[in-house]
Structure 1
Amino acid sequence: MSESNSRRINIAIDGPAGAGKSTVARMVAKALKYIYVDTGAMYRAVTLKVLESGLSTEDNESVGRLANELDIVLLPGAETQSVHVNGEDITSRLRSLDINRNVSYVARLESVRLRMAELQRQMALEKGVVMDGRDIGTHVLPDAELKVFLTASPRERANRRHLEMGPDAEITLEQLEQEIIERDRLDQEREFAPLLQAPDAHLLDSTGQTVDEVVKQIVQWGLAATRTISTGEK
């Protein structure tokens, strides 16, 4: 690790669906001049390929084999990352209702999580990474210098997702809220690497807060953690 990288930290942002993790993590990374890793997009990419292959989301072995055959690359862009699988840009296809409804079933498979965690750890080796997901601080990067558990009420998270889908959304706000509540249950109850707040994570409830307020708080924590690492402060 270079001397400059030795003064950088890794930041893990975990939380449930619709908590704003991706937006916040991307903005924190930009503020700190770090690299942003959207792990949720990686699971969505696997889900897309599972659906296209006609595999059952219950078939751990076959889905795991498929996941290991996928070359998933995240490329930075002006506003968001683009996701490429086996050389194909699939970014625009990752937010469909089918993927929303199936990603938790794919993501709970141990074979898939092991493969994604392997790729994610490789991305964080040089430090200076902001990574968001559901098990980053507890499983993927348990030694991350800063861990944040970002959440919000189910209704607020549903509203954010509904606005994201636009006026042509084929689902009501109430239906989306119920789907989010069900996804929370699946994420929290899966056997391997469930959604949990790490014991040493900062809890940040973004209900009623602006994105800028949330980002400012995490950046402050990040700078404080960096000073601690650099100077040995307690």
Structure 2
Amino acid sequence: MDWIALLALVVLWVGYTTFAYYKGKETPCLASVLALYRRDWMYRLLGRDNRIADASLLQSLRASVSFFASTSILIIAGLVTGIAASEEAVGVLSTIPFVTTNTRELWELKVLVMLVIFVYTFFEFTWSLRLYNFSCVLFGSAPLCQDINGHKTRQAVFATRSAHIMTLAANHFNYGLRAYYFAMATLAWFIHPGLFMGAAALVVFILYRREFHSKVLDALAVSERETHF
């Protein structure tokens, strides 16, 4: 049952990621709509010489990613400690009704799975942070507005490339957050594998609703249709 639950996690996680990637190309979703806003942002940036506000916005994005990357390191340290305290943890869990984690090997397997998940989140967040650092370089190299007036091609090239780098950074940040969601579902595995599979399925439902049918998506899509270039 535990191996089936672990396989279900992998199938649901990989399956939803693949589904969201291809469906996002066909229908509006948070990722695709925000990608258009980033391109519009880059066009606005080219229209002003004072770009302090743009730098502040980018810094706030980097700060969010940096926070989650640091948190992942702390969680990894805690999970390593949890493996070292296997006997004590199993002893505590064995006193709780309906808990199926009753052996040291099973406890260590489940903690190891969570450890792998958070190592993955760390790599996603750090790569996202590096991509935002690359965006800082692009901001610094952006041509002044008086230098590109009338050069529509140059404007389009810069705006498209800069927005693409920022979208890649946002996508990897999203992958890391998605892993956090599934890590929360994995906590249910310590109680019962059936509960774990139900929690993982619930995570997929929540992600789908938020990315493809949320109220914020409706608001962004309407605004994008009204104001997009």
TM bucket by the smaller chain? under 0.3
Name the TM-score, length of structure 1 as normaliser.
0.25
Name the TM-score, length of structure 2 as normaliser.
0.26
Q: Normalized per residue, which structure has more strand?
A: 1
Q: Normalized per residue, which structure has more helix?
A: 2
